[in-house]
Amino acid sequence: MIDRYRRLRMDERLRDMARETRIGKSSLIYPIFVEEGKNIIKEIAAMPGQKRYSPDTLPYALEELAAAGVKNVMFFGIPKEKDECGSGAFCENGIAQQALRAAKKAVPELYYIGDVCMCEYTSHGHCGIIKGDSVDNDKTLPLLARTAVSQVEAGADMVAPSDMMDGRVAVIRQALDEAGYIDTPIMSYAAKYASAFYGPFREAAGSDNFKGNRKTYQMDFHNRREARKEVDKDLEEGADLVMVKPALSYLDIIREIKDHVNVPVAAYSVSGEYAMIKAAAAAGMVDEANIVAESTVSMYRAGADILITYFAKEVAKMIDEGRIG
């Protein structure tokens, strides 16, 4: 017998040396929910272990992340008041803007990403201006551009439009360039599917006022080729990185996009994926750490260069311990 594949598995040091998929802490992004107010550190019931912070308590979370070696943060804001057009998203003193300024002052060495969308800020919970039973794509675009610029003015190092409006990358790129932010990158939620896996996020982000669904602007989960079309358009309009969301049930899409483009590909392991692991572990059905390790590696193995995950601190620890990486 010439081929004995077990030879490369017989020693842990050799397994590490011959490993195909490599994961580094620098590729992790941790999402944080920031609520308008003071002295807030509030547990999110739908996502055990995750919290909302106010700008004044935010440094505690950021310092913990920095100590763990997680260098990248994405902010989601929860305002006190909402309106039909989501004006809190682009307000100079909006909650995301407050969070960015506080973060830059407290822990400037981290890299801060602003999620650009309207859903946390609108009274109806949709991602833009409502017209009839859907969102008015073109009327929403200027508000997204204003939101992106306001976040960068407040300190965002990158913006990530998650709204799925057609043409939004182009208007955001133009607005950033005209404001002098030609070097600020855009990470587009390019292939974002209308998914049931987003459920816990609604409580976390305060968008549980939402009625109906987002199927008129987010992608149909039956579709694969459409993801390539969305990605191509966003890159044509000026996106610097692209994202697939969700991750775990869309590993085929991650691989499809990875093989299709020559820019970094991010994947977002979303709230429902996190909550299911937590619930199964709490019920004693699975080993949480091993499930987190295996599912995380699967996303990188599928082709993700960057992973947005609520398990970022746990994954960083596993990398330090040599369990993955």
Q: Does the pLDDT at position 211 exceed 70?
A: no
Tens of pLDDT, residues 62-116? 999 999 999 999 999 999 999 888 889 999 999 999 999 999 999 999 999 999 9
Q: What are the residues facing 243 on neighbouring strands?
A: 266
In the set 25, 71, 82, 245, the catalytic residue is 245
Tens of pLDDT, residues 234-253? 999 999 999 999 999 999 99
pLDDT (0 to 100) of residue 20: 86
Confirm whether 245 is a catalytic residue: yes
Tokens 């191509």 label which residue?
A: 232
- 3-state helix, strand, coil split of the chain in percent (to 5) is 45, 20, 40
Matching CATH number, 21-321, of 3.20.20.70, 3.30.200.20, 3.40.720.10, 2.40.50.140: 3.20.20.70
Residues in Cβ contact with 182 at an 8 Å cutoff, skipping those fewer than 6 apart: 176
CA separation, residue 240 to residues 177, 225, 306 (Å): 14, 21, 13
pLDDT (0 to 100) of residue 53: 97
Tell me the whole-structure pTM to 2 decimals. Answer: 0.94
Confirm whether 192 is a catalytic residue: yes
Residue 78 CA to residue 237 CA, distance in Å, equals 29
CA dihedral 315, 18, 298, 189 (to 10 degrees): 80
In the set 25, 82, 192, 313, the catalytic residue is 192
